[in-house]
A and B are shown apart, each in its own frame.
Chain A
Amino acid sequence: QKEVEQDPGPLSVPEGAIVSLNCTYSNSAFQYFMWYRQYSRKGPELLMYTYSSGNKEDGRFTAQVDKSSKYISLFIRDSQPSDSATYLCAMNNPAGGTSYGKLTFGQGTILTVHP
């Protein structure tokens, strides 16, 4: 079983819809949680990061972390065709020592927003 599970989709929604993307994880030591967006044949681009449990909002994007359930979410409001991409969740464990920097990614969810 992978440490981070993410439904690969694909997910197709009409423009203006609210999109919900989710990941579950098994390692309770994860503390920092990130969402990256990756366009086809490009490198991942950081969208949001959250430390521990709670919500964080940035424009049309809201990230939620529920450590008790080991579940994180990304919501996209008023989705646009330009949001069409693969969305990757990532997390790491600041246990100190040499493992701090390593990110563990989900599989990625392919999102298409059609006009």
Chain B
Amino acid sequence: DTGVSQNPRHKITKRGQNVTFRCDPISEHNRLYWYRQTLGQGPEFLTYFQNEAQLEKSRLLSDRFSAERPKGSFSTLEIQRTEQGDSAMYLCASSSTSGPLREETQYFGPGTRLLVL
């Protein structure tokens, strides 16, 4: 068990470009979450999946954002037509609905730091 991994770790892009981030959860974790964290703030919930189903999306997730988890394993988060305000750390977390701690225990990846110029 290597923990939650995210790629790339850093991304610099120009305004208007599209970017895609990948998250690989802890194996056999059926829930996967995306959060966004800006400097000096706590993470803010964006969306989450149970298996391949996207169960909830935050109002923060504009139409330019789309997330997928096609086979219930890894997930991708795409941002289209990036804006400078999208600059942030994008965090992925996973959890399991089985076991004693259930989904209260979310394990976070190292994050992808996005800078939009």
Contacts and interface: CB of A to CB of B under 8 A. Distances in A.
Interface stretch (B63-71, B72-80, B97-105): B97-105
Contacts, number: 65
Interface residues of B, number: 28
B42 A88 contact: yes
A34 B45 contact: no
Interface string A18-61: 00000000000000101010000111111001010000000000
A6 B109 contact: no
A101 interface: yes
Interface residues of A, number: 28
Interface of A: 4, 6, 8, 32, 34, 36, 41-46, 49, 51, 88, 90, 92, 98-108
Interface of B: 4, 31, 33, 35, 40-45, 48, 50, 55-56, 91, 93, 95, 101, 103-111, 113
